[in-house]
Amino acid sequence: MKKCQYKDCQENSVSLSNFCWGHIDDKNYYKDILVKYVKESNSIKDFCLSHARLENFDFIDTDCQQADLSFCDLAGANFSGANMKKCNLSHANLKNAYLDNADLQDAQLLGCNLESARLWHADLKGANLSEANLSFADLFNANLSLVKFWNVNIKGAKMLTMHNFLHKKGRFFHKYAIDESGAVSSADGYRNLKQYFIYTGRYDDASWASFEEKQMQMRQLLKEGNPSYLPSLVMALLCGYGEKPYRVILFSIAAIFSYAILYYVTGAINIIAQTGNAIKFWDCLYFSIVTFTTLGYGDISPKQIPFFQMITGAEAFSGAFMIGLFVFALTRKYSAR
């Protein structure tokens, strides 16, 4: 980068010129030179075009890697298929721009205006979208995994789902995520997505965003040494903050079997109608089930020893708690919020 040769100007000069954009006398002539250069080389790699006004410019399939396009007016420009890796588009105006199949990995889009832009199949993995305006942008099949998503305007955005944030694809498990390097900013990003998904009726997607928001908040509590971290961790494990009701079922089954094993090992129960025969594990499992679900038929009871009575009382309490937690999680997961 070289400095503008205009007297006392501290701005960088734009590429193919000795002056910054503000001090180029004949801007139309400069645009003609730039158009010719792009057509011949199909590249503006490492160019500095900061503050340039290049509305409706044609950059189709152009190599724009690491170009400085900050504060540029690129309204209506066509970047379809362009390689824009690590391109600096901070505070640029890309309103109504075409970015179909553009590679914007790790691009700097801080405060960028992408209103009504078309980003079909664009790859924005790892890009910084903080404070960007994506209102009414068409994000069909755009890759937004690991993007910085703090304070992004997504009002009216089209075709935005959790699948845009697919980070890892496995056979049985997929990971969807934005950039989580900052717990506070990422929690804000997930909260923004949650509200958008609720408004657009994508409740499963809202459930994902809500869970990730709580995860970030829990991480912040741990960082601060806040004692609220422990109950938050318990809720995360037991039911995913109400977003994963199947976890309640799994923990309940594990608890029933654990108590059954404890009863069997310690010989904690009596069968009222049975004398002389050894207690079987299935008897203990049956007793654990009816205790956990608070049915308590009375055909099997704990021995009249305080320790055994306390164990059965603890299981009954935990069972009632887990049943209530399951109802809460199921209602939250499948209601219209």
Domain harbouring 293, CATH code: 1.10.287.70
Question: What average pLDDT does this structure show over 229-247?
Answer: 92
The more confidently predicted of residues 26 and 6 is: 26
Domain that holds residue 286: 241-334
The total of structural domains in the chain comes to 2
Residue whose C-alpha is closest to residue 94's, from 43, 138, 40: 138
Condensed to tens digits (0 to 9), the pLDDT of residues 187-206 reads 999 999 999 999 999 999 99
118 CB neighbour count, 10 Å cutoff: 20
Condensed to tens digits (0 to 9), the pLDDT of residues 53-94 reads 999 999 999 999 999 999 999 999 999 999 999 999 999 999
**Residue 211, in any domain of the structure:** yes
Angle at 323 between CA 319 and CA 324, to 5 degrees: 120
Please indicate, yes or no, whether residues 167 and 294 belong to a single structural domain of this protein: no
**Residue 205, in any domain of the structure:** yes
Last residue of a domain, one of 187, 221, 236: 236
pTM over 0.85: yes
pLDDT exceeds cutoff 90 at 20:
yes
Last residue of a domain, one of 221, 236, 251: 236
Condensed to tens digits (0 to 9), the pLDDT of residues 324-335 reads 999 988 888 776
pLDDT exceeds cutoff 80 at 273:
no
